[in-house]
Structure 1
Amino acid sequence: MLQVKKTNILLAMAGAAALMVSAPALAQDGTTPAPAEATATAAPAPAAETPAPAATEEDPASVAEAAGGGHGGSLTPISMFMVAHPVVKVVMIGLVLASIFSWILLLLKLFEFGGLNRTSDRFLEAFRGARSIADMRRIAVSDEFEGNPLADMAAAATEEVELSRQAGLAVGGAHRDTTLTRAQAAVAAVQSGLAKRLSGGQMFLASVGSSGPFIGLFGTVYGIMNSFIGIAESNTTNLAVVAPGIAEALLATGIGLFAAIPAVIFYNYFQTRISAYGVRSDGFNAELMNAISRQLDKGA
């Protein structure tokens, strides 16, 4: 009996020991998930990899810079000129120079006509106070009126009368009309030179005004053609690529109009001034012939 009790006690102690050993493993299995399971739950499998936009799409700015000649960010007339094709540059420079010469010509002719009218007014005042053909000639050849067209006309007419006298020809009486005819011919020679003198620079203004827009259009056509060649080579139709080249080409037309419009205005203005002075010279011609006729009748 005592032996049976000892056996039972040993068995109980062995079972308790086994329970104590197995308890931590059972507690771990029931409270914490397995590392593989936690990883699978926290980080799902990634989807199919997609390419980054920067790797497949072209940058519009870089494409525009490559096809448009390196304009960069801002478009200004100076920047467009600097990157323009050499042919377009030559067109722009020529038109700018033509415009500068047109404005210089405007100032020169304004001063010329202003001084011409002032001198003519003073000469007419002095001429109308002359009492003889000799007085007319003295006033006409004076240094004060040197180069004035009206003074040159009076000098030519009076010189012809004096040459006739020095040649021993009768200048009055029955020969009066013959003398006036020779004097009239001398004045006509001066007037023919007057038209050429006053019209100086008019041909240049007319040329710039008529051909300036077409020269600018040539630069525009060439620039657009060159721009489209660049677009074809870059294989893109992005507006950022098209705009700089076209704007650069249109700048040539703008400069052409800038040169042509003032030139046309200046040409018409000075043509009016030339015509007005021509009418004034015709009036003085009649006044001069009347004054010489009176003096010849008086025998002066």
Structure 2
Amino acid sequence: MLNSKKTNILLAAAGAAVLMASSPVLAQAPAEPTPAAAPAEAPTAMAPAADAANPSTVGESVGGGHSGGITPISMFMEATIIVKVVMIGLLLASILSWTLLLIKLFEFGALNRKTDNFLENFRGARTIADMRAVATQEEYDGNPLADMAAAATDEIEMSRQAGLSVTGDHLDNAMGRATAAVAAVQSGLAKRLSGGQQFLASVGSTGPFVGLFGTVYGIMNSFIGIAESNTTNLAVVAPGIAEALLATGIGLFAAIPAVVFYNYFNTRIAAYGTRADGFAAELLNGISRQLDKGA
């Protein structure tokens, strides 16, 4: 009985060995993955994420070769002909505005110095003849206040030479003619002092709009370039937009000083006009006083 059990066990073991030998899947045990195999792929998988997180890498890919290479001169050279014409016109207007500023500063400085000197000498005159002698001196030639004094005293002198009485009952007539002569000189005073003001006003009011025209034209060309290249890459459109905005910047550069100069010189002109009005009253009072004295 024992021999038959042993025989059955041996037969079962032999059958199991035959089955394992005949099946490759059962014969090979599944290999456990090594711990080092999984991390080996990690650097390759994480590389794109690292590049995406690096701002300098992204900036280089978007900006291309323009990083640090765009300057106002290069933008001007790359601009279209219309934008270039706008920029050149605005730059010329700005140069003329600054030139006009220097000219008028020297003009007003010399005018005030000559006026101060004239008033000092005029107030020392004792007769109408003395007033006329001071007003007609060559060093005061072209001075508005000296011209006013010369016109008033000349009118009195011409009335005398014509045989007209300038005193007594005829004093009012003589003073009326002298006043008219002074007013004629004063009427041209504002025009003499306001030379160049119209140019400054024009540059100050139209400069930003001219620059804006160049900007609109440049941006329009940039969008046309986007449509033709079928790309919205910032490196493609940024230079054109920068060139366009430069036109507006030059327009403001020309307009802002022009407006400042215009307001400044308007103030100077108004101040000198007030001074001229005061001198006119002083002049006519002096002439009337001398005529009453019979001088």
**The two structures share one fold, judged by TM-score above 0.5:** yes
Q: Is 2:237 the counterpart of 1:242?
A: yes
Match of 1:259 in 2: 254
Match of 2:222 in 1: 227
Q: Distance in 2 between matches of 1:61 and 1:87?
A: 32
Match of 2:32 in 1: none
Q: Equivalent residues in 2 for 1:1-300 (5 A)?
A: 74-300=69-295
Q: 8 Å contact 2:93–2:254 — kept in the other structure? A: yes
Please report the RMSD computed on the Cα atoms of aligned residues, expressed in angstroms. 1.9
Letter aligned with residue 283 of structure 1: G
State TM-score, norm by structure 1. Answer: 0.76
Alpha-carbon shift at residue 144 of structure 1 (Å): 1.2
Alpha-carbon shift at residue 228 of structure 1 (Å): 1.0
Structure-2 change in CA distance of 1:61 and 1:244 (3 Å) = farther
Structure 1, unpaired ranges of 5+: 1-59
Q: Distance in 2 between matches of 1:288 and 1:276?
A: 18
Letter aligned with residue 176 of structure 1: L
Q: 8 Å contact 1:123–1:151 — kept in the other structure? A: yes
Q: Provide runs of 4+ in structure 1 moved above 4 Å.
A: 60-65, 70-73
Q: Distance in 2 between matches of 1:76 and 1:229?
A: 23
Structure-2 change in CA distance of 1:78 and 1:71 (3 Å) = farther
Q: Highest CA radius of gyration, 1 or 2?
A: 1
Structure 2, unpaired ranges of 5+: 1-58
Q: 8 Å contact 2:207–2:251 — kept in the other structure? A: yes
Aligned residue for 2:195, secondary structure, equals: coil
Letter aligned with residue 191 of structure 1: Q
How many percent of aligned residue pairs carry the same amino acid?
78
Q: Distance in 2 between matches of 1:206 and 1:100?
A: 15
Q: 8 Å contact 1:63–1:234 — kept in the other structure? A: no
State TM-score, norm by structure 2. Answer: 0.78
Alpha-carbon shift at residue 62 of structure 1 (Å): 11
Q: Distance in 1 between matches of 2:66 and 2:189?
A: 53
Alpha-carbon shift at residue 63 of structure 1 (Å): 11
| Count of aligned pairs between the two proteins | 237
Q: 8 Å contact 1:71–1:80 — kept in the other structure? A: no
Alpha-carbon shift at residue 75 of structure 1 (Å): 0.7
Aligned residue for 1:168, secondary structure, equals: coil
Alpha-carbon shift at residue 232 of structure 1 (Å): 1.2
Q: Distance in 1 between matches of 2:66 and 2:85?
A: 19
